[in-house]
Amino acid sequence: MTWLTMQALTENQIRASLLNVSQSERKNVTLPADLVESPWDEMDFYGARDCKLALVGYVVALVDDEPAGLLLRQAEAKPRTREAYTGFDVEAARAARIAAMRENVTAFVRAVRDGV
């Protein structure tokens, strides 16, 4: 699978891309005020937290050359932390997590879009 650089999206395109929301939820999404200034050509996908709802965020990825997005709700439980050990290559681990996230985001959004 080839990973695409994110294209610049408008508020309307982001709202329209959200697959797992109702019409009223779509209208109530609060997008960042600096959306236009986002460094689109440096992004693999667009993600942000809702400015008014602390536990809500959204992610938009290009899936089959079309924007597809999901509204996400953060669990209230704290995530576990990872401790590094001697000889652990932090940068290599970070690069591996980023590569895995790229693939996971696309696969997850595609599965939701396709009803899998």
Tens digit of pLDDT at every position of the chain (116 positions): 444 578 899 999 999 999 999 999 998 899 998 888 999 888 888 999 998 888 899 999 888 889 999 999 888 877 676 676 667 788 888 889 888 888 888 888 888 888 87
* Dihedral (Cα; 59, 39, 13, 48), 10-degree rounding: 30
Confidence (pLDDT) at 1? 40
Q: Which residue has the tokens 């290559």?
A: 89
Helix (H) or strand (E) holding 20: none
